[in-house]
Amino acid sequence: MKAKTNKNSRAEELFARTPISKSIWIVVIPSLMIAFMIGLYSFMDQVFIQQFVPDTKIILSNNQVGEISKYLPSINTYSLQDYTYLLNKYNSIAQVSKIVQITANSVVSTSNAATQPLIIFSNSIVFLVPVGASVYYTKCLSKKLNHTAKNLWASMFWVTAAFCLSAGLIVIILTASGVLNLLAGKTIINTDPNTINGVLTSDELQRLQDYYDGAFSLSVHWAKQYIYIYAAGTILQGLVAIFSYFIRAEGFNAYTMIISITSNLINIALDALFIIVFKMGLLGGVVATIIGWTFNLVSFVIYVWIKNKQKLVLMSLKDLWFFKFNKDLLGPIFSLGLGGFIRTFGVAFSFFILNIVLTKTVFADPGHYQFYWSKTSPIISLFLISVFGISDGARSLLSYNYTRRDFKHSQEVYKWVILISIIYAVVIYVFIALTADNLWMIALNVDKELIPQTANFIRVMTLRIVITSMTICSILAFQGTNSIERSLFATALENFITFIVIVPIGFGFATLGYQNTSSVDVAN
């Protein structure tokens, strides 16, 4: 009886007896930090890739053709001098839109922008089960349904593993089918004789296009390497997620925060080792990610084993092999987790659409605008994930009190989350806006001539962080109170409905602008 009391006392003390004004910080800060550290590692990964890969990979520099040579028709007829000569002649034509110079930075940026939608899509599947399962696990703890809680933990562990394997397989299939060719931008040379006006011959125009075709092919090749390894390690990411959510549902938030921070510090150190020292390029970044996930998983397994031996948590590694699978739980858990899935999938969807608009439209100028986007998306991911972390941390607190029919405490949780989310997002946006043309330009290795446009692009696109902070509270309320239909509607409203309305309107204005001015800058 004492063991049973110990296992439930931590959650009951924190969720039911501690004042909400205090407990909200206990659950939100670790969750916010965990989410921020996840985003920070992804951001730092991009910093190392975009800062140091260009320094370790030769692409049309140091008087060499470098990495793109294998993608050119004949290495004997192509050189840095030839490319520079053709580029300068082309950009001297007054009637054409100026194109950017091919650099290792531009190739890496294209690879980064192309991989983001697939990575976020994979993450959406990974977190489908843990989010909903942890809510029901909290309900079981609050009602002292220990046997049901054990079966829930074991069942959802294996369901998560199966879903992660499926997610990895889907991403691998999409990559092999050529979706990265759709997401990566390629500069298209204007060959209209009336515009070129004899400044370059048709052979010279084709040769210049060959350089940009080669850069495009190299970007896709690097992106494929990254995605294949990332997808293969998705199972590790999923198991880390299920352990993290369930440990926090038991009330042990601080440990998950510490392990997350430690894991990300290890990842950052390995990034430096693999990218700078071993010169592995994008490959080094993803290998460091896999090792970080492995450390995280091993740390959680050891922690659960120790705490279970001390009879402080209900979770048990032994239960993973001896349990009764309850298929009736799948429907409610999937339904509840579907809100989080749609939320993350919606981000992937928005990134996918933006890549298409920036690279495949008649007014596309991927050399400039996909470059700006590649520098902006890591910042959005960093802080958008941390905003989601606020509601993730408060979900168990709201669910526990709502299950006990303590509506006063439930309302307090909701109001605190609204306040914390909006204040956090506004402070973050002001910081980003004030430092857009210096701090972020240095961190993400923006070419000097592109700093003003990139900074303005960042200021506009990161407004989404503030807007999102105003919507996550409704998602929290509906998920925490098990209002599945409303949860799905609120999540869909945030992403799909918004993009279905806003993107077509924006595309229409861009098309009209291009038709009337023939300027890709006006259109974009």
Q: What is the pLDDT of residues 146-189, one digit of tens each?
A: 998 999 999 999 999 999 999 999 999 999 999 999 999 999 99
CA 241 – CA 118 distance, rounded (Å): 18
pLDDT, position 5: 45
Q: What is the pLDDT of residues 91-117, one digit of tens each?
A: 999 888 899 999 999 999 999 999 999
pLDDT, position 427: 96
pLDDT, position 260: 84
Q: Which ranges of 65-145 does DSSP label H, i.e. alpha helix?
A: 80-91, 104-126, 128-142
* Average pLDDT score over residue span 270-283: 91
Q: Is the overall model pTM greater than 0.85, yes or no?
A: yes
What letter represents residue 244's amino acid? S
Within 10 Å of residue 22's Cβ, how many Cβ atoms?
9
User: How many percent of the chain have pLDDT more than 70?
Assistant: 95
Which of the two residues, 237 and 143, has the higher pLDDT score? 237
Q: What is the pLDDT of residues 289-336, one digit of tens each?
A: 999 999 999 999 999 999 999 998 999 999 999 888 878 888 888 877
> Which whole-number Å values give the CA distances from 175 to 166, 223, 225, 416, 504, in the listed order?
14, 9, 10, 42, 27
CA dihedral 134, 139, 141, 146 (to 10 degrees): -90
The 3-state secondary structure of 150-217 reads: HHHHHHHHHHHHHHHHHHHHHHHHHHHCCHHHHHCCCCCCCCCHHHHCCCCCHHHHHHHHHHHHHHHH
CA 27 – CA 31 distance, rounded (Å): 6
Which of the two residues, 16 and 53, has the higher pLDDT score? 53
pLDDT, position 87: 96
